[in-house]
Amino acid sequence: MPIITVEGPAIDDMGDKRKLVKGLTDAALQVFDLPPSSIVVILKPNSNDNVACAGELISDRVKRTGG
């Protein structure tokens, strides 16, 4: 059973979540000869306070750049 894990910002819109998991499942089905029910997708939201890039918390970068 393939497990696809996505770590990133929280997705608040349920429609966007559905679109993401459907797209990931469809992509996996193109390479695995398995039924769709065997593809598991796990979304792991991470707050900007818990992710860093280039030694700087994303939350600090957002504050600094204003976006």
Q: Which residue has the tokens 């797209």?
A: 23
Q: Report percent pLDDT > 70 for the chain.
A: 99
Number of domains the chain contains: 1
Distance of CA 35 to the CA centre of its chain: 22
Span 36-65, mean pLDDT?
93
pLDDT band at 52 (very low <50, low <70, confident <90, very high): very high
| pLDDT digit string, tens, across residues 27-41 | 999 999 999 999 999
The CATH number linked to 55 is: 3.30.429.10
Non-local (6+) Cβ contacts of 4 within 8 A are 24, 25, 28, 39, 40, 41, 42
Q: What is the pLDDT of residue 21?
A: 98
Q: What is the pLDDT of residue 67?
A: 65
The answer, as to whether pTM is greater than 0.95, is: no
- Print the domain residue range for 54: 3-65
